[in-house]
Amino acid sequence: MRTDSSPQTIFRKDYTPPAFLVDTVELGFDLHPERTIVANRITLRQNPASKRRDIVLHGEDIELVQLRMNGQLLGKDDYLLDHATLTIKKAPAQVVLEIETLCAPVQNTTLSGLYVSNGNFFTQCEAEGFRRITFFPDRPDVMAKYTVMLRADKASYPVLLSNGNLIEQGDLDDGRHYAKWEDPFKKPSYLFALVAARLVCQEETFTLADGRDVLLQVWVEEGNLDKTDYAMQSLKNSIRWDEERFNLELDLDRFMIVAVGDFNMGAMENKGLNIFNTKFVLANPRTATDIDYAGIEAVVGHEYFHNWTGNRVTCRDWFQLSLKEGLTVFRDQEFSADMIGTDTGRAVTRIDQVRTLRQAQFPEDAGPMSHPVRPDSFVEINNFYTVTVYEKGAEVVRMYQTLLGRDGFRKGMDLYFKRHDGQAVECDDFRAAMADANGRDLGQFERWYSQAGTPVVTARTRYDAVKRNFDIILSQRCAPSAGQQDKLPFHIPVAVGLLGASGQDLPLTLEGGKHAKGATTIVLELTEQEQIFRFRNVDERPTPSILRDFSAPVVLEYDYTDDELLHLFSHDSDPVNRWEAGQRLAMERLLKLTAQVAAAGGSDANLKLDPTFINAQRAVLTDETLDAAFRELALILPSETIIAEQMDVVDPQAIHTARQFMRRTIGAALKEELIAQYHANQTPGDYSPDALSAGKRALKNLCLSYLMVAPDMAELKLAQQQFEKAGNMTDRSAALVAMIHSGAATGPYLQNFYEDFEGEALVVDKWFAMQAAAPTTNVAAVRQLMAHPAFTLKNPNRARSLIFNFTNANPSQFHAADGSAYDFWAEHVIKLDAINPQVAARLARAMDRWRRYAPALQAKMKQALEKVAARAKLSNDVLEVISKALA
């Protein structure tokens, strides 16, 4: 909670090194839910890099009981204490501080610092949670060695965990026990963690590449031990992968994953003690979908990979967050792709990444919270754990690999660790390692870190049949964003191929290029505002395939004809661009149809969909040489959100009507093929989450959803049967979602599903989520669901399942003409803010794009924003989001 009146903006340029460094930290915890005593003994010494002599410790929501300096008790006159800091002026050069504080974990609903979840103790310290546990210079460039003593009631908290190695444990009086942990590596405070809980674990000894044995554990509540196999398998795969791909080995004797039901984010990479949202640990076929399994693999990998990219080498300050997050997302993306192993499998993961960027990052880049990958300022750092820092950050890292090649990228990584192991560094240091290891000048590449906004690359082409030259003229621009009026050209890798008339890749000869003979994809480097690239020896006018594999996070404009797109859609050897051609064909039509619906006052009566498009869809659907997973992606129409981003004035109802019309029309026209593919892509036998099986289920369930847009009795029956006979959650939930979306009477099915899974929190989340996101669910229905006994605002997963899925995934209802859903939004931002500001601020962002809606909606959205802004007691988190939206 904000305790002073005006929130402060913090600027990157104001960075100064810490006045004091910390060498060792000894923490003692006497854990009680209401009253936990923390004894903290730290040794500090003056930082030679700083001239300041004051010790400044952060502290928030904790009570100072006692403070000693070099053994001497300090009185109130010896230090300054306010709501955020404890300052000791003109401290001696070497200091031992002993600080005793009190906190109340059970009252802590923010889930930052030390808190209680389902009767167990957990901590969350990133970004600035450690200061809610004890007074400390809580900044990532202060790295120290930690020893931790935990004491708690043995019956209630039989398991006591912290970072590093367990060095001692035993019983105490009064039924309490203790455990002492020591982390051999120095670390920033944000990586500290403890768990005191009633939990059980799946464990295994695992042999590393160098022959060392390590202990791996996955800790969960007792009833969930049947859901830990996949997390454990993913952990082992991650360890192997990092050894093989980057020669990075686990540096501890023990590595633990702990699942907790109340968690603000996905998971946290605390040294040796990763704490996870249950959503990214628990899975069995009955409760988890293919998407859940993929999420577990990715997040387990992500947190594990942080051990090197984040923990061994950490961030100098929070503006550098993407240094660890962008890099680690890239690493987890590569891991997931390598786990599938096939080229199309890899492409399918890439397409998913592109969809995420367009769905969430491009809108962020164009909205009021727009910021560079390395922000220049913030009010609340928690608001900057964004798709820009994470996913665009990963794209920036990927571009190094595209520009330098896999080997060059690996050389850069090796140099990065050689130079910076054990240090807290900046994004620029990573870039320098990449440049120096490869003898490349990557000076201009810096703009990817400093300039916000999505670059637009425009391509024009010309063919000279006599000279057999084909020119691609690329130019770039980037719209202004907050504080950045004019932007300088980016260094953009644009991967290009040329298709001949029969769809084959033409061998490429780039004028002035030094590419392997016979290459069919070449990475053009666009560094100027406009550049001409000339291909020689081109015998026929080719169809250009530009931005293959989505080689840069940009919008590509090129005046493709329908024929060219159809050609690419059926032949491009680059699966990402093949998919992209289909998306362009669909988008063109969706925008036209949307305009027609709007002009017809919302009616879809006179809409038409051309047979060309339908035939192209049919061809992909029935092409069994293509992976099911790819076919599914090729058949999904761009989402309503992505369509909205293409419009100057957004009309959510018209978009929904047009898209539904298109889906209904495709469903009817391809009915026979959809039914055939539905049956051809069954996955009988034991459930397996592997990519091939998951792809089949995805395609089959997409077929079902098309058939269920306007189902007849037989189609309804198909869905009902799938629901009843499903041997896994993927099929069961897909059938139920299809029924809900069709508007068919689903009451008994929903009831049945709920009763079957009442005791499975993550499945109850799904139950809320699928209703919240259905276009048949209006705000009144959401309010009714909130009254359900299983609903609570206090659990972030539950709050997100119902509220966020409504505000973010159900645009036609969220933007109901009467504005009633906006009032609902304002009410819940305010309610959530009193409980958990981080979660509230995420909800607040549902209004980011308010200025783009039709005037009537815009006015109502503004009113709702102002209603929130007018509240006297807002957190900095929400205040920052709302004031930027209104600015």
Active site residues: 303
Q: Interacting stretch for ligand PHE, rule CB under 6 A, among 266-274, 312-320, 600-608, 640-648?
A: 266-274
**Residues in CB range of 595: below 8 A, 6 or more apart:** 654
Cβ pair 119, 222 in contact under 8 A = no
**Position among 160, 191, 267, 348 found at the interface with ligand PHE (CB under 6 A):** 267
267 vs 846, beta carbon nearer ligand PHE: 267
| String marking each residue 462-491 x if it binds ligand PHE according to CB under 6 A | ------------------------------
The Cα–Cα gap between 79 and 471 comes to 70
Q: How far is the CB of 280 from Zn ion (least distance, A)?
A: 12
The Cα–Cα gap between 248 and 74 comes to 46
Peptide bond into 127 cis (omega under 30): yes
**Hey, which residues does 21 pair with through a beta bridge?**
45
Residue 15, SS3 per DSSP: coil
The listed partner (Zn ion, ligand PHE, none) that binds 505, CB under 5 to 8 Å by sort, is none
- DSSP track, 340-385: H-SHHHHHHHHHHHHHHIIIIIHHHHHSTT---SS-SEES-GGGG-
Q: How far is the CB of 128 from Zn ion (least distance, A)?
A: 16
**Hey, which residues does 463 pair with through a beta bridge?**
470
Q: Tokens standing for 861?
A: 């959205």
194 vs 267, beta carbon nearer ligand PHE: 267
Single-letter code of the amino acid located at 169: Q
393 vs 542, beta carbon nearer ligand PHE: 393
Residue 198, SS3 per DSSP: coil
138 vs 325, beta carbon nearer Zn ion: 325
Q: For 133-152, b where at least 16 C-beta lie within 10 A, e where not — what string? A: bbbbbbbbbbbbbbbbbbbb
The Cα–Cα gap between 113 and 264 comes to 12
The Cα–Cα gap between 189 and 735 comes to 46
Q: How far is the CB of 112 from ligand PHE (least distance, A)?
A: 8
Q: Interacting stretch for ligand PHE, rule CB under 6 A, among 119-127, 349-357, 461-469, 816-824?
A: 119-127
274 vs 454, beta carbon nearer ligand PHE: 274
C-alpha atoms less than 13 angstroms from C-alpha of 656 in its C-beta half-sphere: 17
**Position among 183, 262, 269, 426 found at the interface with ligand PHE (CB under 6 A):** 269
633 vs 844, beta carbon nearer ligand PHE: 844
Q: How far is the CB of 885 from ligand PHE (least distance, A)?
A: 22
| String marking each residue 126-145 x if it binds ligand PHE according to CB under 6 A | xx------------------
| String marking each residue 323-352 x if it binds Zn ion according to CB under 5 A | --x--x------------------------
Cβ pair 485, 492 in contact under 8 A = no
The Cα–Cα gap between 379 and 369 comes to 12
Single-letter code of the amino acid located at 824: F
Give backbone dihedrals phi and psi of 179, rounded to 5 degrees, phi first: -145, 140
Q: In what order do the strands lie in the sheet with 555-557?
A: 530-535, 469-477, 456-464, 555-557
Q: Tokens standing for 470?
A: 């084909």
Q: How far is the CB of 219 from ligand PHE (least distance, A)?
A: 18
Q: How far is the CB of 562 from ligand PHE (least distance, A)?
A: 42
Q: How far is the CB of 325 from ligand PHE (least distance, A)?
A: 6
The Cα–Cα gap between 115 and 129 comes to 11
Alpha carbon dihedral 414, 420, 424, 430, in 10-degree steps, equals: -50
The listed partner (ligand PHE, Zn ion, none) that binds 564, CB under 5 to 8 Å by sort, is none
The listed partner (ligand PHE, Zn ion, none) that binds 265, CB under 5 to 8 Å by sort, is ligand PHE
Q: How far is the CB of 268 from Zn ion (least distance, A)?
A: 8
302 vs 732, beta carbon nearer ligand PHE: 302
325 vs 426, beta carbon nearer ligand PHE: 325
**Position among 116, 191, 194, 268 found at the interface with ligand PHE (CB under 6 A):** 268
**Residues in CB range of 176: below 8 A, 6 or more apart:** 151, 152, 153, 154
**Position among 2, 131, 139, 302 found at the interface with ligand PHE (CB under 6 A):** 302
Q: How far is the CB of 381 from ligand PHE (least distance, A)?
A: 9
Single-letter code of the amino acid located at 79: Y
Residues from 732 through 761 that contact ligand PHE (CB under 6 A): none
Q: Tokens standing for 698?
A: 């995805």
Using CB under 5 A as the binding criterion, the count of chain residues that bind Zn ion stands at 2
Q: Tokens standing for 550?
A: 């989505």
Distances in Å between the alpha carbon of 495 and those of 92, 661, 751? Answer: 59, 35, 51
The listed partner (ligand PHE, Zn ion, none) that binds 268, CB under 5 to 8 Å by sort, is ligand PHE
Chain position whose Cβ is nearest to ligand PHE: 265
331 vs 697, beta carbon nearer Zn ion: 331
The listed partner (Zn ion, ligand PHE, none) that binds 126, CB under 5 to 8 Å by sort, is ligand PHE
Cβ pair 316, 223 in contact under 8 A = no
Distances in Å between the alpha carbon of 580 and those of 6, 297, 575, 585, 879? Answer: 47, 26, 8, 9, 38
467 CB-contact burial (10 Å; exposed 0-12 / middle 13-18 / buried 19+): exposed
Q: How far is the CB of 306 from ligand PHE (least distance, A)?
A: 6
The listed partner (ligand PHE, Zn ion, none) that binds 761, CB under 5 to 8 Å by sort, is none
Q: Interacting stretch for ligand PHE, rule CB under 6 A, among 90-98, 122-130, 177-185, 424-432?
A: 122-130
Is 385 an interacting residue with respect to ligand PHE (CB under 6 A)? yes
Q: Identify the residue whose tokens are 């003409």.
A: 817
Q: How far is the CB of 362 from Zn ion (least distance, A)?
A: 21
305 vs 768, beta carbon nearer ligand PHE: 305
Using CB under 6 A as the binding criterion, the count of chain residues that bind ligand PHE stands at 12
Q: How far apart are the first and last CA of the chain?
A: 22
328 vs 484, beta carbon nearer ligand PHE: 328
The listed partner (Zn ion, ligand PHE, none) that binds 657, CB under 5 to 8 Å by sort, is none
325 vs 833, beta carbon nearer Zn ion: 325
Q: How far is the CB of 322 from ligand PHE (least distance, A)?
A: 11
301 vs 544, beta carbon nearer ligand PHE: 301
Q: Interacting stretch for Zn ion, rule CB under 5 A, among 98-106, 241-249, 317-325, 582-590?
A: 317-325
Q: How far is the CB of 472 from Zn ion (least distance, A)?
A: 37
Q: Which of 8, 1, 5 is nearest to 880 (CA)?
A: 8
Residues from 484 through 523 that contact ligand PHE (CB under 6 A): none
Residues from 310 through 339 that contact ligand PHE (CB under 6 A): 325
CA 332 to mean position of chain CA atoms: 11
Q: Interacting stretch for ligand PHE, rule CB under 6 A, among 7-15, 120-128, 566-574, 718-726?
A: 120-128
The Cα–Cα gap between 743 and 741 comes to 5
Single-letter code of the amino acid located at 501: A
The listed partner (Zn ion, ligand PHE, none) that binds 124, CB under 5 to 8 Å by sort, is ligand PHE
Q: Identify the residue whose tokens are 């100027």.
A: 528
Residue 193: CB atoms within 10 A of its CB come to 28
Q: Identify the residue whose tokens are 């930082």.
A: 47
**Position among 110, 124, 336, 361 found at the interface with ligand PHE (CB under 6 A):** 124
Catalog residues that contact ligand PHE under the rule CB under 6 A.
124, 126-127, 264-265, 267-269, 302-303, 325, 385
* Residues in contact with Zn ion by the rule CB under 5 A: 325, 328
